[in-house]
Amino acid sequence: MNYESTLAFAQSLDYADPLSGFRNDFLFPQQNGSPFIYLCGNSLGLQPKAAREVLNEQLNNWHNLAVEGWFEGDSPWMFYHKELKKLMGPLVGASAKEVCPMNTLTVNLHLLMVSFYKPVKGRFRIIMEAGAFPSDQYAIESQVRFHGYDPKDAIVEVAPRVGEYTLRTEDILARIAEQGDELALVLFGGVNYFTGQWFDMEAITKAGQAIGAIVGFDLAHAAGNVPLKLHDWNVDFACWCSYKYQNSGPGGISGIFVHEKHFTDTTLNRFAGWWGYQEEQRFKMEKGFVPEAGADGWQVSCTQVMPMALYFASLQIFEKAGFIDPLRNKSKTLTSYLFYVINEVNKSLNNEQFKIITPLDENDRGAQVSIIAKQKGKEIFEKLVANNVLGDWREPNVIRLSPVPLYNSFEDVFRTGELLLQISKEVL
Ligand SMILES: *Cc1c(COP(=O)(O)O)cnc(C)c1O
């Protein structure tokens, strides 16, 4: 497409956008009486208008049914997660049996590593991306120590080449192959939080499994953002949070994926709790843990009804939008337009003031564009916020702008570019 950096052009794209109406399903934060252009859905998605209704509904159930709410009412809490599983599956490319909402993300990362990081003599290493989200680094380090290894020996990090910001797939695959039979686990992000790079998850899965390792993904920045085919790619396990691109609210519930090929493996360790026990027999309260079949068998504590209600409300919006494919189409055009607009700003300034570190190829990125300002980055970022454009700042020097196809418009992108130019002219 030939883009133009004009308001009329941006509005013409919005006019032709079949998803433009979904913006009305969300509430926007305001400052000085006007709504923000919200480009921070990669950190905390906006509140769906339906959120308040579903919470009220559950408060009413609690009021009217109290303990009987577990088995009575329109959707008893005992089986409530099943409604979510039906909608989570299509979002990540899995069957309903392979996914389950539970806990929060880092907790699930630990629980899944208990099952799938099984170091044995000689095969104990974990390979991950360098500069992974800190929570993942801490979780992996502590798991390695828990098994009696030194993170310095056991963790292999794949880093970008000197002078580059993103990883080359060939380098990732080569580093995996190099580990040979010392590699126990590949644990990568789906989309990197800092650069917005979407890794070739299928190729990574194949490479890890080819040398006998288990392959898992943290999909915090990928779920609800890019199309995933976890089952078909033969990924062993994955987990994600739902409060970023999936708009389930701060501290929202996490989701897990376990490939069905593992369902019958009775050798897997689990940190068990009563809610993972076989559903039919759960209330017999018998001794000796017998897991429910499928991902549900990894549940530990009872259903978190309020966070699940919020996630359900948001998943219903995805269902209405046709799940991920229509969103992905719009998302590619939104980020391409943002690339264009930023390059136009550079041209007007006669200077490579803004360096984009997100991959140029739209197949290697999700809905995020990360930029480094050559000069006065923090000051420019603060002025964007003061002028009602809310992206975020990531130390040491990156501005992340994330146009989300459910609620951002092409006009949002155009206005962000206009403001970047105006602010740059003021401060440089
Ligand atoms: C956002 C994010 C987290 C956050 O974990 P919580 O347990 O939900 O606080 C973890 N890992 C990655 C990769 C993230 O992007």
Q: pLDDT tens across 394-423, in order?
A: 988 899 999 999 999 999 999 999 999 999
Q: Which domains does the chain have, with CATH numbers?
A: 7-48+323-427 (3.90.1150.10), 75-321 (3.40.640.10)
SS (H, E, C) 214-257: EEEEECCCCCCCCCCCCCCCCCCEEEEECCCCCCCCCCCCEEEE
Residue to probe by mutation, ligand 1, list 102, 104, 106, most atoms within 8 Å of CB? 106
226 falls in which pLDDT band (50, 70, 90)? very high
pLDDT in tens, 51-109: 999 999 999 999 999 999 999 999 999 999 999 999 999 999 999 999 999 999 999 99
Kindly state the percentage of the chain with pLDDT values over 90.
97
The overall average pLDDT reported for the chain is 97
* CB distance 173 to ligand 1 below 6 Å: no
pLDDT of residue 203: 98
Q: Span 154-162, mean pLDDT?
A: 98
Residue 20 pLDDT exceeds 90? yes
- Region for residue 191 given its phi and psi (left: phi exceeds 0; alpha: psi -120 to 50; beta: otherwise): beta
Q: Span 238-247, mean pLDDT?
A: 98
> Residue 157: beta bridge partners?
128
* CB distance 330 to ligand 1 below 6 Å: no
Q: What are phi and psi of 244, to 5 degrees?
A: -90, -100
DSSP letter for 125, please.
Answer: E
Ligand 1 center from residue 425 Cα (angstroms):
36
Residue 337 pLDDT exceeds 90? yes
> What stretch of H or E contains 285?
none
Residue 285 pLDDT exceeds 90? no
Q: What are all long-range contacts of 344-349, with beta carbons under 8 Å and residues at least 24 apart?
A: 344/5, 344/417, 345/417, 345/420, 345/421, 345/424, 348/421, 349/421, 349/424, 349/425, 349/428
- Cα dihedral sign, 67-71-73-77: positive
pLDDT of residue 340: 98
| Number of C-beta neighbours around residue 63 at 10 A | 9
Ligand 1 center from residue 107 Cα (angstroms):
10
- Contact, 81 vs 407, CB < 8 A? no
Task: Kindly report whether the global pTM for this prediction surpasses the value 0.75.
Answer: yes
pLDDT of residue 392: 94
Q: What are phi and psi of 328, to 5 degrees?
A: -65, -40
Residue 1 pLDDT exceeds 90? no
* CB distance 106 to ligand 1 below 6 Å: yes
Rounded Cα–Cα distance for residues 161 and 336 (Å): 25
